[in-house]
Amino acid sequence: MRFWLAACAVSALPDADAILHYLGVPYAHPLGHRGFWHSLAFAALVAGVMTVWLFRERRWRIFLFLFVVGASHGVLDAMTDGGLGVAFFAPFDNARYFLPWRPLVVPPIAIAPFFSAWGVEVLASEIVYVWLPLAGSLLIVETVRRVRARVAPAGRETRS
DSSP string, 77-107: HTTBSSSS-B-TTTTT----B--S---BPPP
pLDDT of residue 116: 93
101: left (phi over 0), alpha (psi -120 to 50) or beta: beta
Mean predicted confidence (pLDDT) in 31-42? 96
- Asked if pLDDT for residue 48 goes beyond 80, the answer is yes
pLDDT of residue 160: 55
pLDDT of residue 157: 58
Residue 114's pLDDT band (cuts 50, 70, 90): confident
How far apart are alpha carbons 128 and 138 in whole angstroms? 15
Percent of the chain with pLDDT over 90: 84
Per-residue pLDDT reduced to its tens digit, 1-23? 899 999 999 999 999 998 998 89
Per-residue pLDDT reduced to its tens digit, 56-92? 888 999 999 999 999 999 999 999 999 999 999 999 9
Q: Which residues contact 85 (CB under 8 A, 6 or more apart)?
A: 34, 78, 95, 96, 97, 98
pLDDT of residue 154: 61
- Asked if pLDDT for residue 100 goes beyond 60, the answer is yes
Percent of the chain with pLDDT over 70: 96
- Asked if pLDDT for residue 158 goes beyond 80, the answer is no
Mean predicted confidence (pLDDT) in 120-130? 95
